[in-house]
A and B are shown apart, each in its own frame.
Chain A
Amino acid sequence: MLAMHAPDGFLEAPVAIVCAVIAVAIIGYGLRMASSQLDDNRIPLAGITAAFIFAAQMFNFPVASGTTGHLLGGCLAAILLGPWVGSIVVAVVVLVQALVFADGGLSALGYNVINMAIVPAFGGFALFLLFRKFFPRSASGVIGATALASALSVVLAAAAFSLQWLFGASAPVPFDTVFGAMVGVHLLIGIGEGFISGLAVGAVLASRPDLVFGAADLDRKELADRTPVSARTFVIGGALTAVFFAVVVSQFAFDDPDGLERVAEDQGFIDSARDHAFGSGVFADYATSGIGNETISLAVAGLTGVALCALVGYGLFRGLREARSRTAQV
């Protein structure tokens, strides 16, 4: 589950097909963008950076006391190469893993490409641009924005998967259970992803800052600025985001009668007639939480969907603009 190379049959066929169509459309459009935007030298570059992402996914880093994780790299690729080339590169990695290594189902390619390439690249890049607005224009600002955006891009991908599950669940597991578990687990994975991605971008900035697409707007002086002033901003930003996500997730995602569900239940108790109608004990509780779940599911799904679309859309939009301005320069 962690690597999200879903096998065949994980989601129902219609959702798999819709996802495949969306993935093909976005990547196909991206190919056109990438080939008109950039000259031919992107082909070997894209291929070799795809090999780099693939290799990076093979190597483990320690997380806590002997347990290990590995990089997913979607957001990192977008920050280094731009969201278009980045998403194509990671999509190729996912394609190759399915086609040549039997890792990830062939009929699951559509949603695997969306969750592992498109959402992390465009959503992550949008977050990156957002965080950069709050961070100082300096190398450390870029590193901080990379770390936060990469961490959250993994959570976004988990949310995207949950959303697909809502429409194409192959088993009657409620959306909020899947959402809670996916987002919770991937918040933890995201910490590692963010830490490694941020430092990796830092290392690139130190030796070849011109290779970092997401820092192309910085001049030499700003790039040399590695003052740890932004460490405080980073910690505050990170803490705020974490708190925000923690609140959202705990409010919406878990079956425990707390948060919004608690509110619903309390209201249920106030409404004595309804309470009586259902009787007391386990059944009533089950029914109430069932109703609560349904409304909340829809609310969460709606919110997640809107947020995801907004982020991915924003990333696409910015990607387009960057592409246009680059073409204009050439």
Chain B
Amino acid sequence: MSSGHHHNLFIPGSTVVHRLAPEVKLVAVFAFVIAVAVTPRRSIGSFAVDAAVVVVLFALARLGPRTVLSRLAVVVPFVSFAVLIPFIAGGPETEVLGVSVSTEGLWGTWNILAKAVLGTSASIILTSTTPVAEILKGLSRLRAPAIIVAIMSFMFRYLDLIVDEMRRMRIAMTARAHDPRWLWQAKPIATGAGAMFVRSYERGERVHQAMQSRGFTGTMPRLDTRSASMREWCAAAIAPIVAIISLIAGFALT
């Protein structure tokens, strides 16, 4: 129960998408997302092609609509802002369902909606098919700064422990009838956060001692020697290349 799967989006599987090397997936997802981000809002055809790519990948990775939709929920706050845009934006207006709204605003809504959903979908494909440890390996094979990768690695290792500790602290407070409803009653939560920081810091010191004890002198050793094959790079390149072609085609047509 408390093993902390709540924040781990990985869904085990053995599909083509799962099996691709993580560095290949990372590059492909980044390229795809950037291609989507620079697509002009009026190139509806390009967005349709991108959407088709995403749907094919969802199918290939065996990600059902229920999973995908629940994970897309992170964009909701921004999308709700996007939906407001036509009502507060200026410029020429059109009538939609009897309400007069800004035409440019509508395009703005569409733009944010399409890009947020497509971009998040691409991220979902990555995170659902790649375990965290693999993503980290991918980053380090792509020569991401070693310190950043190491910090991320430690963060993941200890996140669940800290979350569990915080949860236990909250339960201990609730058990003593602490049920704050107003900010000024939240003092125990705040001091609890301070105590958690101290515990986290002290754990950091102990971990460092444990590392030193095994010969650590400041640089994390590179433990992994595998790298992606040309075939993997080619396979993963398909999605962003389709997106880029549709982007260029969109430019050419409009």
Which residues of A line the B interface, CB within 8 A?
1-3, 5-10, 13, 16, 28, 31, 34-35, 39-41, 43-52, 54-56, 58-59, 61-66, 71, 80, 88-89, 92-93, 95-96, 98-108, 170-174, 177, 191-192, 195-204, 206-208, 211
Contact = CB atoms under 8 A, between A and B. Distances in A.
Contacts of B7: 58, 101
Given A107-B34, A200-B190, A208-B201, A10 B183 contact: no
B186 A9 contact: no
> Most chain-A Cβ atoms within 10 A of its Cβ — which of B107, B122, B187, B194?
B194
A56 B114 CA distance: 31
A234 B109 CA distance: 43
A69 to B, nearest CB: 8
A108 B123 CA distance: 12
Contact of A47 (B119, B152, B163, B193): B152
Contact of A105 (B107, B120, B217): B120
**Closest 9 interchain pairs by CB?**
A171-B108, A47-B154, A9-B115, A203-B194, A8-B119, A40-B218, A199-B190, A7-B116, A45-B204
A44 B191 contact: no
A202 B194 contact: yes
A173 B85 contact: yes
Given A47-B150, A197-B190, 8 more contacts: A43-B208, A55-B159, A61-B183, A102-B71, A199-B194, A203-B190, A203-B198, A211-B198
6 contacts: A8-B33, A13-B37, A92-B152, A96-B155, A107-B33, A177-B88
A9 B120 contact: no
Interface residues of B, number: 93
Contacts of A52: 162, 196-197, 200
A158 B77 CA distance: 15
A57 B219 CA distance: 29
A102 B105 contact: no
Interface of B: 7, 9, 29-30, 33-34, 36-38, 41, 71, 74-75, 77-78, 81-82, 85, 88-91, 102, 104-105, 107-109, 111-112, 114-116, 118-120, 122-124, 126-127, 132, 135, 145, 147-148, 150-159, 161-163, 166, 170, 180-187, 189-198, 200-205, 207-208, 211, 216-220
A40 to B, nearest CB: 3
B186 A107 contact: no
Contact of A101 (B127, B152, B153): B127
B37 A55 contact: no
B85 A51 contact: no
Given A8-B37, A106-B122, A171-B111, A58 B9 contact: no
Interface of A, secondary structure class, is helix
Contact of A10 (B78, B159, B185, B192): B78
A61 B189 contact: yes
A6 B78 contact: yes
B161 to A, nearest CB: 8
A1 B200 contact: no
A95 B148 contact: yes
B238 to A, nearest CB: 18
B111 A9 contact: yes
Nearest to B167: A59
Nearest to A103: B74
Nearest to B130: A100
Contact of B37 (A104, A107, A204): A107
B163 A55 contact: yes
A32 B63 CA distance: 41
A26 B149 CA distance: 17
Given A8-B116, A43-B154, A48-B204, A172 B108 contact: yes
A44 B115 CA distance: 36
A3 B253 CA distance: 38
Nearest to A203: B194
A318 B118 CA distance: 41
Contact of B107 (A48, A50, A98, A171): A171
A171 B189 contact: no
Contacts of A7: 74-75, 78, 112, 115-116, 119-120
